Amino acid sequence: MKAQIAACIFIGLTQQCLGDATLLTCRGGAVHSYIAEGGASKPGWSVDEGEKVTRLIQKEPARGAFFDIQTTVKDVRLSFLEDACSIERKSGGSELELTFVVTCKEMISTFLFYARNGIYQLLETHLGLFREATGASVSMTKDCKRGD
């Protein structure tokens, strides 16, 4: 029994954790959206500068590059991975750029996490064909940091 406990402690100290790791957390920014004619929502352009938080999460880092992108707006959390969306990592221009294409049932999105002059930012786009509306949005976050 002591040998098993010692082995578990050794493995725990020498192996990377199997938990999730938040790579970047981005807050704020303005969302510019366009809703097409014929939807349940009012058509046209709108700008929202709400308190949005977007996190890039590496799932089970010890097992490889497996990502989730989670967004929280007004205490409502959206996880693209949990919503059965496909998250595909694309190669970036440098090691400071992480590009993802997210494909969901009714929407396709892109996320570009990048650093300029040591400052991390996020540019995201969304194109959606929902039952209640068809639209697109672009947002830019200026306040991103490593970790949570």
Question: Is-above-0.75 flag for pTM?
Answer: yes
Rounded to whole angstroms, the Cα distance separating 21 from 59 reads: 7
For position 106, which CATH number holds? 2.40.128
The pLDDT, as a whole number, for residue 3 is 45
End-to-end alpha carbon distance in the chain: 37
CA dihedral defined by 49, 141, 74, 45, rounded to 10 degrees?
40
Q: Is residue 46 one of the residues assigned to a domain? A: yes
pLDDT tens by residue, 47-103: 988 788 999 999 876 566 689 999 998 889 999 999 999 999 987 666 678 999 999
Q: Which residue has the higher pLDDT, 46 or 11?
A: 46
Q: Is residue 96 one of the residues assigned to a domain? A: yes
CB of 74 closer than 8 Å to CB of 51: yes
Residue percentage of the chain with pLDDT more than 70: 80
Which residues face 100 on adjacent strands?
A: 89, 111
Amino acid type, 118: G
Determine the structural domain holding residue 118 and report its residue range.
Answer: 17-146
Q: Is residue 8 one of the residues assigned to a domain? A: no
Beta strands in the chain (DSSP E): 21-27, 30-35, 44-48, 52-58, 67-73, 76-79, 86-90, 98-103, 107-116, 119-129, 134-146
Q: Is residue 4 one of the residues assigned to a domain? A: no
CB of 108 closer than 8 Å to CB of 127: yes
**Structural domain count of the chain:** 1
